[in-house]
Amino acid sequence: MSILIDQNIKVIVQGLTGKEGLFHTEQMINYGTSIVGGVTPGKGGQFYLGVPIFNTVEEAVQKTGGNVSVIFVPSPFASDAILESVFSDIELIVCITEGIPVSDIIKVKSFLKKRKSCLIGPNCPGIISPEKSKVGIMPNSVFRKKGKIGIISRSGTLTYEAADQIIKYGHGISTAIGIGGDTIIGMSMKDIIKLFLDDQETECIVMIGEIGGSLEIEAAEYIKKLNKKKPIIGFIAGQTAPKGKIMGHAGAIIGKKIETAQVKMKIMEKSGIHIVKSPSNIGITVYEIIH
């Protein structure tokens, strides 16, 4: 198994006809993802990359049976694009768009509580399950081997780095998920950890966090309460970041002492998570723990 996506999903691309949408749709198709439709208002009836374009998500779902959407819509309109997928009962929504106003995402999250849709992102690289499917912008060349290591990360670049190391040490990836680095996001680290722990294919989990926020702490506290656990390797980026300074992502800002890398790592370690202090040690640590 894999989590959230597999080879049977049917993907709709919102914003397919734009520059970013076209490029990454082609990459997803090359990876083997079933792209069944695109959505760009005013371009319904056209075809791009052999994919039919629809004016609305509702029409795309009705005509194609699409159950997953990936969003490349510009930030001023991205929250509306998410809501359009939610109203159409899309099971999984992956929002790649960055720069969406926090106030917009707060409203989206509130609405999601009443619906069945799950949201990954915004400002994220998406999800990939090697040899099955990809929804997002993760590089095809890195995720070339399926296996039993799950990756959850707030950093896109470190997701790719971790996967590359793991594969070089002879293992493969079950599913890798970049949840996004914004202050307010859809599914949390805790949500994804739960799915990985229930997934029979995933035997080991790599959790890559950042300074700022409490996502890693919430996940660690959840893990600590469990009787049966899988080995989890944890890393926190931003260990040298000064307090109050934004580092990269909008969510990566230290506001309280508990949001520093050092405090997070201590809490995670007390929860039974194997901490690595350098991202260069992720692959070797995975290898040593599962052998």
Tens-digit pLDDT profile for residues 77-120 = 999 999 999 999 999 999 999 999 999 999 999 999 989 999 99
Given a cut of 70, whether residue 41 has pLDDT beyond it is yes
- The fold adopted by the segment(s) 11-120 is Rossmann fold (3.40.50)
- What is the model's pLDDT at position 288? 96
What whole-number distance in Å separates Cα of residue 44 and Cα of residue 54? Answer: 4
Given a cut of 50, whether residue 190 has pLDDT beyond it is yes
Average pLDDT over residues 143-152: 96
The residue type found at 126 is: G
pLDDT digits (tens, 9 = 90+) for 205-258: 999 999 988 999 999 999 999 987 899 999 999 876 555 555 555 444 445 556
Given a cut of 60, whether residue 192 has pLDDT beyond it is yes
Contacts of 206 by beta carbon, 8 Å cutoff, 6+ apart:
149, 150, 151, 152, 153, 162, 166, 232, 233, 234, 235, 282, 286
Percent of the chain residues topping a pLDDT of 70 = 93
Residue boundaries of the structural domains of the chain: 11-120, 126-289
Could you give the 3-state DSSP secondary structure of residue 147? strand
Please state, rounded to an integer, the average pLDDT across all residues of the chain.
93
What whole-number distance in Å separates Cα of residue 18 and Cα of residue 6? Answer: 26
Tokens of 245: 């300074």
Q: Which of 24, 171, 249, 274 is catalytic?
A: 249
For the domain spanning 126-289, the CATH number is 3.40.50.261
Average pLDDT over residues 194-215: 95
Asked if residues 10 and 65 have their Cβ atoms less than 8 Å apart, the reply is yes
- What is the model's pLDDT at position 2? 84
The residue type found at 262 is: Q
Output the CA torsion 168→172→175→178 (10° steps): 0
Q: Which residue has the higher pLDDT, 229 or 31?
A: 31
What whole-number distance in Å separates Cα of residue 253 and Cα of residue 99? Answer: 16
- What is the model's pLDDT at position 250? 47
- What is the model's pLDDT at position 291? 84
DSSP bridge pairs for 12: 37, 69
Given a cut of 60, whether residue 201 has pLDDT beyond it is yes
pTM over 0.95? The answer is: no
Examine the residue annotation and report whether 249 is marked as an active-site residue of this protein.
yes
Average pLDDT over residues 170-190: 96
Given a cut of 70, whether residue 174 has pLDDT beyond it is yes
- What is the model's pLDDT at position 212? 87
In 152-281, which residue ranges form alpha helices assigned H by DSSP?
156-168, 189-198, 215-224, 261-270
